[in-house]
Structure 1
């Protein structure tokens, strides 16, 4: 039985590595015009990370069901993988900022949508890792590696928003 478990683990690991490498190489981004409406989204690698974690969860569940090998370590590992994969999945599929002519629409990964006019944006701070948008309603934080980040900054600058770049 141990040999079959090792083979199942090796096949699952090989599939996971293949999917991640393929996703990293084929993460295509369309060319857009920053004067038109567009949408900021997290890179698709977040989706593939969630897929990898769900594959690991499936492997552990199959291992528990087929060989009736339930251990405390496996249950804790399942819980940790689920806690890590769900936010990555929600960020990839749900989170977005629609950039329109007069306002932006922020859709967080857990809540509803907020329409924010450019005049309500007080300040934007951009670091190599994080972007912070301070508005009159709320504070929005996200990674600076989202798609169309520079186009978003051009649009903000065009509408008179104060932007600080911290390098």
Structure 2
């Protein structure tokens, strides 16, 4: 496969995976660490959770959309060139290992993001019959925006 064809086929899917995994990452990280500053408060868990999800999403989206897309694209291209369609299982394992290696940048926080990105991208790649185009990638930006607005409306309503 030529490089330009690989870019046209894979890059829109990577941006869609970034949109979905950013939303998932904000929610998962908020579930694991709803009070990142460690202040002792008399606030309920759900209030801490709903207040920190938009903050996690604001800071994680640019990183996932740039570093995550670039490293995931590199790992998929590397495995495609090196393995030349020898084995789908071997390709999956090598790509997963590269995602984990690139995900160790910020220890467990970025590792969670890398695993979510990898799993989201693999689920999206199951839909190969319907190729993703750039307008799909643009519209996928509405996913994190809608989730962010939803959690911000909870924060606003809560006062």
TM-score between both structures, scaled by the size of structure 1: 0.28
Higher strand share: 1
Q: Name whichever structure is richer in helix by fraction.
A: 2
Q: Greater relative contact order (Cα 8 A, min sep 6): structure 1 or 2? A: 2
